[in-house]
Amino acid sequence: MNLIGLAQKAGRLAVGEEPTGAAARARDARLILVAADAAENSVRRVRHFADAGQCLWCRIGADKDALGRAVGRSSCAMLAVMDIGFAEAIAKKLAEGDERFAETAEKLAVKAQRAAERRREAEAHEKNVRTGKKRPAKKAAEAGEAESKRAKKRLALRSAAGAGGKRPTSAQSRGDAKKPSREERKRSAVKAAARARYADSRPVKRGKGSAKKEKQ
């Protein structure tokens, strides 16, 4: 009950049916506590609130009077804890006294760890923005090179699709083209020999029989 009182002083509790429902609908509730002697209608509403807000709930051993005294009221049937740190601490305390709350405590511990990681990442990002810290040059160069390779690959695929009317197959994209036939290799060899034969020859000069360019 001391943790509930601390959460109340910190303004991280929604006490009563309507505030609890509003906190659950706004996705601000992390844990909903129900008094042991709460009416069944109240328990059904708490289940609905927990489903709507995607949060956990549990029915504790304290009655409405004890729960009310913890938050400075005469009576309280339900309340919502809106801070993951307080919710984890309360669930852990409940699990120490009753094993029924062990599963709830474990789930809240995982959620609290994730929230802490997100908070650290946000703080690091804000610090980098303030100090003007940028990504290391090596990592930036590697990222730029990878993006350039992906862009070239996309461009090649689009070019092949535009020329042939359809996208190339995986074998073609890897460069595994079809091997030339024996006749094609033979013709290529003949052409190469012909080019090599006249490679060092000079161009033929115009002779007397050649047509002369008319003077303008």
Amino acid identity, residue 82?
Answer: M
Q: What is the pTM of this model?
A: 0.57
pLDDT in the model for residue 216: 44
Lowest-pLDDT range of 27-31, 36-40, 154-158, 166-170: 166-170
Helix axes 84-97, 2-9, angle to 10 degrees: 170
Q: 208: helix, coil or strand? A: coil
Alpha helices, DSSP H only, in the chain? 2-9, 17-25, 40-53, 64-70, 84-97, 102-131, 137-164, 170-173, 182-197
Q: Residue 209: is its pLDDT beyond 60?
A: no
Query: Residue 78 — φ and ψ, nearest 5°?
Result: -155, 155
Contact 81, 88 (CB under 8 A): no
Lowest-pLDDT range of 10-14, 59-63, 177-181 = 177-181
Q: How far is CA 11 from CA 14, 79, 118, 140, 203, in A?
A: 8, 12, 22, 44, 97
Averaged pLDDT for residues 172-200:
71
The answer to whether the CB of 98 falls within 8 A of the CB of 61 is yes
Angle at which helices 17-25 and 40-53 pack, to 10 degrees? 20
The pLDDT of 76-93, averaged and rounded, is 94
Give per-residue pLDDT as tens, 172-185.
Answer: 555 555 667 778 88
Which domains are seen in the chain, by residue range?
2-129 (3.30.1330.30)
Q: Is the pLDDT of residue 157 over 90?
A: no
| The predicted structure's pLDDT at residue 153 | 79
Task: Return the higher-pLDDT residue of 84 and 195.
Answer: 84
